[in-house]
Amino acid sequence: MTKYLPLLFIINFAFGQVCTADDGTEGVELWGTCYSIENTTELNLSNSGLTGEIPPEIGNLTNLTYLNLGDNDLSGEIPPEIGNLTNLTKLRLSYNNLTESIPLEIGNLTNLLYLSLYGNHLSGTIPSDIGNLTNLTELYLGGNQLTGSIPPEIGNLTNLEYLLLNHCQLTGEIPSEIGNLTNLYELFLYENQLTGSIPPEIGNLTNLTWFWLNDNQLTGEIPSEIGNLTNLEYLNLENCQLTGEIPSEIWNLTNLYELSLKENHQLTGSIPPEIGNLTNLTKLNLHNNQLTGSIPPEIGNLTNLIALTLQTNQLTGSIPPEIGNLTNLTLLCLYQNQLTGSIPTEIGYLTNLTVLYLHENQLTGEIPDSICNLVENNCNIIITNNQLCPPYPSCIENYVGDQDICSCGLDDVRVYLWGNCYLIENTTELYLSNSGLTGSIPLEIGNLTNLTYLDLESNQLTGSIPSEIGNLTNLTNLNLRSNQLTGSIPPEIGNLTNLIDLTLQTNQLTGSIPPEIGNLTNLNQLYLAHNQLTGSIPDEICNQGDSSPTLSNNQLCPPYPSCIEDYVGEQDTTNCEQVSIIDATFPITYNLHNAYPNPFNPVTTLQYDLPEDALVNITIYDMMGRVVSNLVSSQQNAGYKSIQWNATNNEGQPVSAGLYLYTIQAGKFRQTKKMVLLK
């Protein structure tokens, strides 16, 4: 008896735990139940809470014709022993957590009519042996992590009616052999990484009702043969990289309910009037392409449409009034095109709309009151960034947003400057530095009364600063630096009492600094240097806010107000003597000004003010307190005075470089200041 033990072990190993089925025949125990090998033809354990791996012993149930283990929590690989079940006509393992690759032995199941492995985590390639299953009518492999290309042997499955390979990681081109599957009703290849063009053989699949290739990397043009698929109800080619024009044959697919070619980004050409043939359409999505031309009025034939999206193309022309026929629409998106003309009154007929997006076009004219019909139904409306004109219907005025109303003929709300239109109400900042501007500053700039920042620096502007600049009382920053402006600083500049920064330097401005400059008490920076300003600096400059203004390189004449004398810098005073002769006004107080230039070599000028006749002594001392030069010692009349020192001592000899003191004594007035001689 012992000699038979090894054989018994082999039998037990091959067939699993031997058990006796309820009918008394030999069975196999699976998931705690004994199934008759001879009499079990159907096994439906879907949604039964099964876990763990599929036992390889399942391959012993060779009389099975129906096996459904779907909707469980099975894991691990599909056992190759599944290939023993050659009588199977239906195998469903979908919606588990199965991993690894599809076993080659699946190709043994040549009687299969239905095979679903959908919604697992299967990896690897689709085995070419799948082509052996020539009786298949339904094949569901989608929702896995399958890679590689679709095997051309798929073309052997000529009885297929449903082929779902979507939502995997398939690559390569769609094999031309797919055109052999002439019995197909549904073909889903979407959400893969398929490349290449759509094979023209696709036109052989004349029974197709669903065809989804979206979310791949397909290129090339849409083949005209797609027009052969006259039974199509759903066509989705969106989010690929398809190019060229939409073939005219596509408008023959009059059974279509949904057509989506959106987000290819490179489809061109116009929308033809033949689109009106697709009267069964409920959804038409053509957005995010490069479509041109106008929206044909025949779009109004599509009265079953629920969603129409044409946004982000290059469409021109007006919105056809026939759009009002689409009374079932809930979503209408035409934004980011180049549409012109007015919003048609008929838009108000679309009372089922929940979304209306017309923004970022060039729509003009007035908004029709009928749009209020949509507002009453809580439609989400965006119409900003067009050229729509006021007055706006009260129901919509809070949703109008920014509009370019320069073409509305409303001179009281717009200003044209340098070829551009600016809205008075909305223009608060104008940055035009380094913009190549020429000519004079337009007087109309004074109408932009909401301006807070005006920057025209580094252009080639000429002419004078217009007095209308004084209207811009909200300005905090005015920068006209580095132009070629001439004329005087207008006194109206004093109206700009909110100014923090006033920059007029590096122009050719002339005339005197207006006393109204003193009104600018909020100034932090005052730049008037590098012009040709002349005359005396008004005492009112001490009232403005910048305690150290930049005034150098002008022709401003002394005496300078004491508050800014340290910041006058270099001035061309060549013509100032004539000014002092003409101006007989006497100073009010004694004053000794800063030497200019200082430091100097070899000559500097000392200026001083005498409010009355006095005996004046001006003496130069070195740092040791020794007298170097008795520069002035005489009775003098009241007035503004100056004298030069040529850096010599009382003996006429040049003195060495260094720090020197100069002191004025006039009556009871005495003052001392410092100067530096350079060598």
Overall average pLDDT of the 614-636 stretch: 91
Flag whether pLDDT at 6 surpasses 60: no
pLDDT at residue number 402: 87
Overall average pLDDT of the 224-229 stretch: 97
Mean pLDDT, rounded, of the chain: 92
The CATH label, of 2.60.40.2550, 1.10.3470.10, 3.40.50.2300, 2.60.40.10, for the domain at 586-679 is 2.60.40.2550
Judge: domain 411-583, CATH 3.30.1300.10.
Answer: no
423-450 tens-digit pLDDT? 788 899 999 999 999 999 999 999 999 9
Residue 579's pLDDT band (cuts 50, 70, 90) = very low
9: which residues sit within 8 A by CB, 6+ positions away? none
Would you call the peptide bond into 597 cis, given omega within 30 degrees of 0 as the criterion? yes
pLDDT at residue number 192: 98
22-65 tens-digit pLDDT? 999 999 999 999 999 999 999 999 999 999 999 999 999 999 99
In whole angstroms, what is the distance from residue 79 CA to residue 230 CA?
A: 42
110-137 tens-digit pLDDT? 999 999 999 999 999 999 999 999 999 9
Residue 535's pLDDT band (cuts 50, 70, 90) = very high
Flag whether pLDDT at 11 surpasses 80: no
Q: Are strands 210-212 and 234-236 parallel, antiparallel or unpaired?
A: parallel
pLDDT at residue number 281: 98
Flag whether pLDDT at 581 surpasses 80: no
Flag whether pLDDT at 10 surpasses 50: no
pLDDT at residue number 639: 86
Residue type for 138, please? E
pLDDT at residue number 583: 43
Within the chain, all domains assigned CATH 3.80.10.10 are found at: 289-410, 411-583
DSSP-derived letter for residue 600 is: B
pLDDT at residue number 1: 32
Residue pair 353/374 in contact by the 8 Å Cβ criterion: yes
- Of all residues in the chain, the percent with pLDDT exceeding 70 is 96
585-602 tens-digit pLDDT? 678 888 888 888 888 888
Flag whether pLDDT at 279 surpasses 90: yes
Higher per-residue pLDDT: 477 or 420: 477
Quick one: CATH architecture of 289-410? Answer: Alpha-Beta Horseshoe (3.80)
Residue pair 54/69 in contact by the 8 Å Cβ criterion: yes
> Which token pair is 568?
């006058």
Within the chain, all domains assigned CATH 2.60.40.2550 are found at: 586-679
286-300, 457-471, 624-638: least confident range: 624-638
Flag whether pLDDT at 376 surpasses 60: yes
pLDDT at residue number 13: 37
Residue pair 282/303 in contact by the 8 Å Cβ criterion: no
Residue type for 54, please? I
3-state SS, 523-592, equals: CCEEECCCCCCEEECCHHHHHCCCCCCECCCEEEECCCCCCCHHHCCCECCCCHHHHHHHCCCCCCCCEE
DSSP-derived letter for residue 611 is: S
Predicted structure pTM score = 0.68
DSSP 15-67: H-SEEE-TTSSEEEEETTEEEETTT--EEE-TTS--EEEPPGGGGG-TT-SEE
Contacts from 400-403 at CB under 8 Å and sequence distance 24+? 400/367, 401/359, 402/426
> Which token pair is 430?
């104008």
In whole angstroms, what is the distance from residue 207 CA to residue 142 CA?
A: 21
Flag whether pLDDT at 460 surpasses 70: yes
150-198 tens-digit pLDDT? 999 999 999 999 999 999 999 999 999 999 999 999 999 999 999 999 9
